[in-house]
Amino acid sequence: MIVVTGATGQLGRLVVAGLLERIPASELAVAVRSAEKAAEWAARGVDVRVADYGRPETLAGVFGAGDRVLLISGSEVGSRVPQHRAVVDAAKAAGVALLAYTGLLGGDEATFTLADEHKATEAMIRESGLPFALLRNGWYTENYTADAAGAAERGVVLGSSGDGRVASAARRDYADAAVAVLTGEGHENRVYELSGDVAWSFSEYAAELAARSGKPVVYRNVTPEEHLAALLAAGLPEGFARILVDVDAGIARGELARGTGDLSRLIGRPTTPFAETLGAAL
């Protein structure tokens, strides 16, 4: 059985859809907090199991011996280490055949704060002794294109990453990589650095946004302090705003421009160009 946790999130839904194109629904289970959100899959024959990373007791019996499990990292920054530990402990107790985890590009070499919980999770997975696959996802292009229309209206893409570049890929690309690992062979104890084939700068992003929207758009690079102030003024919670500014510092250092080709090799095709994702968002 293949079991996908966090399956009703944006990435998880794409993974489940991809798996259903390759395997019978009877060979797939999802672990979700809300059975209602997974009703469409239950109707197709997917085994829906209610489990919550934050409530370890709900994870008992979710996994079975020989299962292949995808642990999609939780969304609650600051709480993910104990949540992930609960999943790893349950997987170990069950004796799963493979535990795949969606980490962050660079792994132990990543220096921005957002990477810390991923590093801790990878360490506990290694210590568990379970066969693992570490899927170190780079940035999703959708992180930026979700606000493409707003940026076009404002005429400004604001950031503090200087001339740093981002080797992003579409969320579906990363989902397809997870599907390839869960359904393929020879991925045990492998680490994959997953990123887009081409790294782009925010000046290039702004130019593409201008071309596709027909409106003048520029990239305005500001200091980290100015960036933080702008995000707070836009209504973002301070903790999240500081994470975004810290990520931009990592981009300026080149940490999200890393390109290994692992992603395109896993999915058997080129990664989705950022311009294509941008066009779809608009």
Is the pTM here over 0.75, yes or no? yes
Q: What is the pLDDT of residues 213-234, one digit of tens each?
A: 999 999 999 999 999 999 999 9
Q: Please, which pLDDT band fits residue 54 given cuts at 50, 70 and 90?
A: confident
Angle, CA of 242, 244 and 247, to the nearest 5°:
110
CATH placement of domain 2-137: 3.40.50.720
pLDDT digits (tens, 9 = 90+) for 248-279: 999 999 999 999 999 999 999 999 999 999 99
Q: What is the pLDDT of residues 131-178, one digit of tens each?
A: 999 999 999 999 999 999 999 999 999 999 999 999 999 999 999 999
- Closest C-alpha among 147, 144, 68, 77 to residue 112: 77
For the chain, give every residue range classified as CATH 3.90.25.10. Answer: 141-170+196-257+273-282
**Domain 141-170+196-257+273-282, second-level architecture:** Alpha-Beta Complex (3.90)
Across 180-191, average pLDDT: 97
Q: Reply yes or no on whether the pLDDT at 26 is more than 80.
A: yes
How many whole angstroms separate alpha carbon 95 and alpha carbon 91? 6
pLDDT at 75 over 90: no
- On whether the CB atoms of residues 14 and 34 are closer than 8 A, the answer is no
pLDDT surpasses 80 at 78:
no
DSSP 189-211: TEEEEE--SS-EEHHHHHHHHHH
Mean pLDDT of the chain: 95
DSSP string covering 48-79: EEE-BTTBGGGGTTTS-TT-EEEEPPPS-TTT
The phi and psi torsions of 134 (rounded to 5 degrees) equal -100, 110
Q: Is 46's pLDDT higher than 80?
A: yes
Q: Using the predicted structure, report yes or no on whether residue 13 has a pLDDT greater than 80.
A: yes
| Torsion region of 103: left, alpha or beta (phi above 0 gives left; psi -120 to 50 gives alpha) | beta
- H-run or E-run covering 104: strand 98-104
40 phi, psi to nearest 5 deg:
-65, -35
pLDDT-based confidence at residue 74 (cuts at 50, 70, 90): confident
Q: Where in the chain is the domain with CATH 3.40.50.720?
A: 2-137
Task: Answer yes or no: is pLDDT of 184 > 90.
Answer: yes
